[in-house]
Structures are given as C-alpha cells and as structure tokens.
Amino acid sequence: MTSFIKSLIIEGENETVDFKNTISNCHKIAKTLVAFANNKGGVLLIGVKDDGSIKGVKDEEEERFMILKAANQYSKPSINITFQEFSVDDKLVLLAKIPESDDKPYFALDEENKWWAYIRIKDKTVLASSIILEVLKNQHIDQEIKYSINEEKLFKYLQTTPQINLKEFTKLTRLSNKKSSKILAKLLIAGLLKSNWDGQLETFSLAE
C-alpha cells in the first residue's frame, strides 16, 4: 500500500488528489472537501507538502478532528469522510477519502458565515459559477432539450467560433443571465456542450 501512496504523490495534485502539509483552518479545508464532493470525489494526503515532499503528520488525532469538523460543521450537507494511515519513509501520511455523492450541490461556510459551492478544476479549488451550480442541482434529472431559436443561434455561433461565455451568449440571444444560464446548464447536462476554465473566465464549447 505504501507504493500506492507514493504513486499518488509522484503524479502530483490533480482533480481528485490534494496535498496538505497540515490542517489549520476549517473554512479553507471545507472548500476542498466540498469541491471534491461536487465532482467525482477525491483524497487528501495530509503530511505532504505542495511540492510532494513528505513531512509527515505529528498529531494524527488533531488532523482528523479538524477534517471531521470541517466536513460536519462547515460543509452543507455534511460529508462522510473515511481515513487510512500509511507509513511512508518512516513518516505518517494520513489519507482522507471524500466520496462522490448524489446530494449535490455541496456548500462550504466562509469566514463571513456565507455558504458557497466549489468545484475542482485540475489541481485548483474554484468557486462554482451560477451555470455549474445549475448543473449540480439538476444533473440527475432527465433533461428534455427543445431546440428553440436560442439553441440554434448558439450552435451556429460555435460552428465558426471555438467558444462562448455567458456574457456573449446573453448578448447573442438577448435573454437574461438567469435564462441564459439555464439553457447552457441543460446543454452541459445533455453532453452537448463542455465547460472550460482558464483560471479567470468560464467559456463553453461544443462537446467532442
């Protein structure tokens, strides 16, 4: 099993793996837990620095306490966390597993007592957009796609332009942000569009 942990560390942080040297802030760790729960699940490796070097866990009970507190008091709904311990190079690495759930969307409590949804994109935890939030709420509901003039305008636009953002789509259709968001969300759920994120702007393109 040690080889399993080492392989995760070598691969580095990604959509389903995050390294934590130690857990010191429930607000911050709740964001990561929620992001994993809103995606495909994931694992935290505690005792591992961002660069992959192994520091080890000094107080395993304290680390568990902080994670469980974040999962139950700073996450909504609460998140079921399971733990495993590994000895890597004579140092303790604590693995916290966050499962994917059908109870999406999950929200994390911030320092101002506001609840926000987060998702995981590559190795980053980012705030979920209104469109992605709509997807999380409705992804288990069968979506009936009716091709109105708005969908036709969108697909025609994407035949000549690689991608479009929400502002451009609302300008193209002259719809409100809310109605535009619902259309894009339905097309994402149906697998007709894919979402792209460059760290600053969310865009949408035709699914491959």
Largest CA distance in the chain: 64
Same domain (yes/no): 79, 180: no
Same domain (yes/no): 82, 149: no
Task: Give the pLDDT mean for 127-146.
Answer: 82
Same domain (yes/no): 32, 117: yes
Is the pLDDT confidence value at 193 over 80?
A: yes
What CATH number corresponds to the domain at position 51? Answer: 3.30.950.30
Task: Quick: pLDDT tens for 79-122.
Answer: 999 999 999 989 999 999 999 888 899 999 999 999 999 999 98
Same domain (yes/no): 42, 70: yes
- Torsion over CA: 134, 137, 39, 118 (sign): positive
Same domain (yes/no): 38, 16: yes
Looking at the chain, the whole-number percentage of residues with pLDDT higher than 70 is 97
* Residue 73 and residue 153 in contact, taking contact as beta carbons nearer than 8 Å: no
Whole-number pLDDT of residue 144: 65
For the record, the structure tokens of 84 come out as 């495993």
DSSP H/E element including 202: strand 202-206
CA distance 138 to 142: 8
Residues in a beta bridge with 126 = 119
What CATH number corresponds to the domain at position 186? Answer: 1.10.10.10
Same domain (yes/no): 114, 157: no
Residue 184's domain comprises 132-206
Task: Quick: pLDDT tens for 8-50.
Answer: 999 999 999 999 999 999 999 999 999 999 999 999 999 999 9
CA distance 2 to 99: 21
Q: What is the dihedral of CA 67, 68, 70, 73, to 10 degrees?
A: -170
Q: Are strands 164-165 and 202-206 parallel, antiparallel or unpaired?
A: antiparallel
Boundary-marking domain end, from 96, 127, 158: 127
